Structure formats: structure tokens, C-alpha cells
Chains A and B, each alone.
Chain A
Amino acid sequence: MSVALASPAPPRAAVARNAFRWALIGAVLLLALLPILNRLPADSALHVSDFLVSVTGKWITYAVLALAIDLAWGYAGILSLGHGAFFALGGYAIGMHLMRLIGPRGVYGHPVLPDFMVFLGYRELPWYWLGFDHFPFALLMALAVPGLLAAVVGFLAFRSRITGVYFSIITQAMTYALMLAFFRNDMGFGGNNGFTDFKELLGTPLNTPNARAMLFYASLAALLGAYWICARVVGSKLGRVLVAVRDAESRVRFLGYDTTRIKLFVFVLSAVLAGLAGALYVPQVGIINPGEFSPGNSIEAVVWVAVGGRGTLVGALLGAFSVNALKTWLTSVAPDLWLFALGGLFVLVTLFLPRGLVGLLRRREP
């Protein structure tokens, strides 16, 4: 028998994994340099533009979202096509805080109410806006609200053993319903204009090099934290249970695991990470509106993970950065082509690269 020959050579795989780790550390260090290089005089050869810093900061939050999706989809087999909703809810929570910080500096000069409320004839702040003038509370809500929503949707779906494409459809419906709801003016979230014209965060005026650097490093720290959490989960026995659930859920149930609880745990964790990503995204782009809930956004984020390689954390990062770099470039040279490129990319990856870019680089086992 060819037993000994069939097993993969562990040393080479280990070397590859080490190389990956070093590439990752190098990439993080390089990223961390960007805001510093931004401060160099504009004529210096190493100077990087404000645009590059802010666009990279945005991609970092996308990478956090990609990790969140990969944890649920790549490992536990839960394909959520509604993670954009968790991301947007996190963004709205921080957006509410940023709106409260505008204070009397709005166009209407009202001491408490944001402009859109004055415009719509609100007399006082709705109760669910209370507390959002405090940053820690807003941040907590940015994590808790997505987590809670995921807990409810996940509980109902997993308990009824709704899996696969049916679950994906439910999550699409969820984000679509939220989009319609947030479009309404009487929801108290600014209707289709959403929130914008933010002034400052944590005492730092936005749209300044300082604010850019602060948000950039906060995002980078969040990415490292999210990566650490995901790596812990994936590397533990829980990670192996997730993979087992992905491949043969009923068998895991026969082994005595409550797969509903297991799936709920990772789905909620994943939604919380998506909320964190959204909370860091909004102050950097300076706007949040119901468009963030659009079903296409969630699908696009899933494509990042598919392109990078689901079921590997590095793949999620690689996908988020590479697809978004492509998007930024393409939308500047040929904006109309982007959706076709995205669709084509997805088809190509599904047909020829089931394990994504990482699979291409690793070429290890089948």
C-alpha cells in the first residue's frame, strides 16, 4: 500500500505556513508606517498621500468584516448574505454618537437635535437616542445591537434547522428589510440621507491628519484583535467542531454536541466583529446612509472571502485587500465595469479557484 507516500510532507507545509506568517507580520508593519510616511514633506520620495492613508484605513475595516464572514462561512459553513447589515448597524451606532457631538454647530443651530430632526419637526430626542452622547455607550451599542440581531435571527433559523441556501436567503431578506426601514424618515435615523457632516470624535476634529492617523491605528488594532480572536477560535477544539459542523452537521449532533448552540455562538461573534468594522468605517468615510444595508454590499463582502480563500484567515485578509484595491483602481478608470468585474471574478473563482488565492499560493492537499 502507498500509505506512507500518500501523506503530505509536513516540513514543506510548515515552511509555507511560516512564510505566510512572516509575510503577514511584514504587511502589518508596512501598513503601520503609512500614517507616519504621510507626515513627511510632500516632496519627499517616501511621502504617501492623504488619499492612500484614508483608503487603506477603509480597507482595513473591510478586512475585519471579511474575517467575520470567513469565521461563519469558511469554518462553520454558515453562509450569511446579510453581514452588511451588522456592519451598517455598527456604523449607525457610531454615526449617532457623531451626530450628537455636532451639538449646536448644525445648520439650524439647535442645541440638542441633529439637523434632520429639526427639519422633520421633532420636538425632542427619541428615547433610543439617549446615551449616544457618550462614546463608550455608542461603541457598546455598535457591538451589542448586531450581536443581538444575530442572536435572534440565528436562534430562530438554527433551531428550525434552516441551513444552506435557505439561511442565506433569510439573511438577504433581513438586510433588505432593514434597508427599507432605515429609508423611512419616521425611523429617526435620518431617512435616505442618513448621517453626515460629522465634526469630531474623541475631541479630535475629523478630516485632519491627526484624526486620520488615529482612526487608521484604531482600525489596525481592531484588525489585529479580530485576527487574534478568530485565530484562537479556529485553533481550538471549537474550531474543529465548526469544521465538523460545516461538513456533516447531523454526525456532530449524534456525537452529543448541541450544534444549534455552537452555530449561534460563532454567528453572534461574527456579527459583533462585523459591527466593530462598521463602527470604524463610518468616521473614516464621514457618512452612513441606508445604502449600506443594500443586499449587494453583503454579497460583495462574501466575494472578497471567496476570492481570497475561505476557510483560511489569511485568505479573508488577502481577499478584502486585493478585491478592494482592484475596485478602487477600476472605479477610477472605468466605473461602469466594476459590477461586471465583480460578477466575473466570482464566477472565475468558483469555477477555477475553489480555494481562492490562498489555494493558488499553497497548492498543498486537494
Chain B
Amino acid sequence: MSAPVLYLDGVSVVFDGFRALNSLSLVVEPGELRAVIGPNGAGKTTMMDVITGKTRPTAGDVRFRDHDLTRLDEAAIATLGIGRKFQKPTVFDALTVFENLELALKAPRGPIACLRWALSGEARRRIEAVLDETGLQARAKDRAAILSHGQRQWLEIGMLLMQDPELLLVDEPVAGMTDQETEHTAALLRRIAGGRSVVVVEHDLEFVRSLGRRVTVLHEGSVLSEGSIDHVQNDPRVVEVYLGR
């Protein structure tokens, strides 16, 4: 097996004496789709903050391929190839789905370059590919303002894909979605993983089950259990702190 994409070892984050992360360790392989679950305040969002450089760990190693993420700022980490989807979708309402993706596409970003930009065949193919991947092909010409809640989330995931990340962090993607949209999102994430690694934080256990991959359970800032969904659901410690409530 090749070297891991993401490697966290002994990571701790202390806020005013409160341990949000407590010697957390996590390894994500290339192409892996990993679900992270845990009760409120378990440290899931803090873990993402540490990976993206938003929060500095008090102790521990955070590595992305052979880069030490604890030394880089948010912009540098983003350019390395780590994309993050926040919970609140922010797409550009006044622009069409296609145009939203076009803005996210890797290309020179100065004012003159944007003024002279002409959509090449290659760029169009990349956008079409992401439209297919996210299932938004039929809505390409519609303004983002008229998309459904689920479609807006997919568009935002699509905008992350345009930047061709190697690792995608997705925080609670299915909150507020209909069952049908949740199913579609699970399929989308399964499709995306493979080419890249994906870490999904989610409360919805049915959703995590439908991902059908390795699950990590966080509790009080460290890993409580890890394995298949059936394995963790039957783990007595997990039952006690999370599922049993």
C-alpha cells in the first residue's frame, strides 16, 4: 500500500485549558472515503480546522503527503490540494451553475486575465465532467438562486472538485436534506472518492451506513472506535457514549 495522504498523530488542541482534541490519531489512505462520527462537541469540526490550518494544534503531527501542515497557513494548505466544504453552502446566486464552476476552475485570476479569458475546449470538458459527476448537468444554465437546498450543496462540492483537490473535507453535508437528496449525496461522495480521498463528518447514521466504508468514532477529542459501521455500532464503548443515548 502507498503512503497515506493524511496522517494525524497525537494531535491535541487546548482552548483555555479545555481539550477539544486529545492525542487524536487518524490515517487516511489515497482514494479512501472515511466517515467521522461522534456526539456534539466530540471535536470533529476542530479536527477539520486543524487540517486546514484554521486552528494550530497544541501538540502532535499533522501531515499531508510529505508536507507538515502545522507550518502552513490556510491559503498554502488550500493550494496544496486540500478542499473544504463548510456547512453553510455559499454559491453565487446571480450566476448560473456553469458559471459558478467556471469561476472555481484553476486558471489565472488577475483582472486582465479574467477579461481576456476564453473558455477552451479543455476547460469546458473539465466543467462538463464535474457537472456529470455532481448530477447537475440538466441545471447547468440555471441560476444558482433557483436550485434546491441539496443541489446547492452539490454545486459547492462541484466547485471544490474544480480545484482538483487530492483531499476533500466535507462537514455535515446532508443536514436538512430530503431522503432522496441524502441518497444522491452518498452516491456522489462514493463516486468522488477513488480519484481523491474524502473525509466526511456526519451525524446521520443511516447516511454513514449508506456510504458503506470505514468509520471513525470520535469522543472527547480522541478516537473511540474505528472499523466498519457494523463493527462500531456493536462496540460496547460506542453504544455507551453515542448510540445508546
Among A255, A261, A265, which residue has its beta carbon within 8 angstroms of that of B103?
A: A255
Among A7, A240, A256, which residue has its beta carbon within 8 angstroms of that of B146?
A: A7
Q: Which of A10, A255, A266 has the most CB of B within 10 A?
A: A255
Residues on A with C-beta less than 8 A from B95 are 240, 243-244
Among A7, A10, A236, A261, which residue has its beta carbon within 8 angstroms of that of B115?
A: A236
Residues on B with C-beta less than 8 A from A238 are 111, 114-115, 117
Among B79, B111, B159, which residue has its beta carbon within 8 angstroms of that of A261?
A: B111
Q: A251 vs B146: C-alpha distance in the bound complex, in angstroms? A: 19
- Shortest Cβ distance from residue A158 to the other chain B in the assembled complex, whole angstroms: 12
Q: A30 vs B19: C-alpha distance in the bound complex, in angstroms? A: 75
User: Does B190 reach chain A (CB closer than 8 Å)?
Assistant: no
Q: A237 vs B123: C-alpha distance in the bound complex, in angstroms? A: 13
User: Does B237 reach chain A (CB closer than 8 Å)?
Assistant: no
Q: Which of A6, A237, A252 has the most CB of B within 10 A?
A: A237
- Shortest Cβ distance from residue B84 to the other chain A in the assembled complex, whole angstroms: 9
User: Does B209 reach chain A (CB closer than 8 Å)?
Assistant: no
User: Does B234 reach chain A (CB closer than 8 Å)?
Assistant: no
- 0 or 1 for each of A351-366: is its CB under 8 Å from B? (1 = yes): 0000000000000011
**Interface size in chain A (residues, C-beta < 8 A):** 30
Contact A233 B115 (CB under 8 A): yes
Residues on B with C-beta less than 8 A from A10 are 141
Contact A232 B92 (CB under 8 A): no
**Closest B residue, CB atoms, query A265:** B111
User: Does A333 reach chain B (CB closer than 8 Å)?
Assistant: no
Size category of the B interface is: 20 to 34
Q: A255 vs B107: C-alpha distance in the bound complex, in angstroms? A: 11
- For residues 75 through 111 of chain B, which have their beta carbon under 8 Å from a beta carbon of chain A? 75, 78-79, 90, 92-95, 99, 102-104, 109-111
- Shortest Cβ distance from residue A305 to the other chain B in the assembled complex, whole angstroms: 17
Residues on A with C-beta less than 8 A from B128 are none
Contact A243 B115 (CB under 8 A): no
Contact A247 B117 (CB under 8 A): no
Residues on A with C-beta less than 8 A from B116 are 236
Q: A251 vs B90: C-alpha distance in the bound complex, in angstroms? A: 7
Contact B92 A244 (CB under 8 A): yes
Q: A243 vs B102: C-alpha distance in the bound complex, in angstroms? A: 14
Contact A236-B90, Cβ < 8 Å, known A3-B138, A3-B139, A6-B146: no
User: Does A258 reach chain B (CB closer than 8 Å)?
Assistant: yes
User: Does A329 reach chain B (CB closer than 8 Å)?
Assistant: no
Q: Which of B94, B112, B145 has the most CB of A within 10 A?
A: B94
Residues on B with C-beta less than 8 A from A262 are 111, 114
User: Does B210 reach chain A (CB closer than 8 Å)?
Assistant: no
User: Does A107 reach chain B (CB closer than 8 Å)?
Assistant: no
- Shortest Cβ distance from residue A325 to the other chain B in the assembled complex, whole angstroms: 31
- Shortest Cβ distance from residue B101 to the other chain A in the assembled complex, whole angstroms: 11
Contact A261 B146 (CB under 8 A): no
Q: A243 vs B141: C-alpha distance in the bound complex, in angstroms? A: 17
Residues on A with C-beta less than 8 A from B79 are 256
Q: A7 vs B138: C-alpha distance in the bound complex, in angstroms? A: 11
- 0 or 1 for each of A87-131: is its CB under 8 Å from B? (1 = yes): 000000000000000000000000000000000000000000000
- 0 or 1 for each of B160-193: is its CB under 8 Å from A? (1 = yes): 0001000000000000000000000000000000
Contact B110 A258 (CB under 8 A): yes
Contact A7-B117, Cβ < 8 Å, known A243-B95, A244-B92, A251-B90: no
User: Does B40 reach chain A (CB closer than 8 Å)?
Assistant: no
Q: A262 vs B112: C-alpha distance in the bound complex, in angstroms? A: 9
User: Does A241 reach chain B (CB closer than 8 Å)?
Assistant: yes
- Shortest Cβ distance from residue B74 to the other chain A in the assembled complex, whole angstroms: 9
Q: A252 vs B142: C-alpha distance in the bound complex, in angstroms? A: 20
Contact A237 B102 (CB under 8 A): yes
Other 19 A-B pairs with CB < 8 A, given A255-B104, A256-B78:
A1-B148, A7-B146, A232-B115, A236-B117, A237-B103, A237-B115, A238-B115, A241-B103, A241-B114, A244-B92, A244-B94, A248-B90, A248-B92, A254-B78, A255-B163, A261-B110, A262-B114, A266-B111, A366-B145
**Which 4 pairs of residues, A with B, have the shortest CB-CB distance?**
A265-B111, A238-B114, A237-B117, A238-B115
Q: Sample 18 A-B pairs with CB under 8 A, ordered by A number.
A: A3-B138, A6-B142, A7-B141, A7-B146, A232-B115, A237-B114, A237-B115, A238-B117, A240-B103, A246-B94, A247-B93, A248-B92, A254-B78, A255-B103, A256-B75, A258-B109, A365-B143, A365-B145
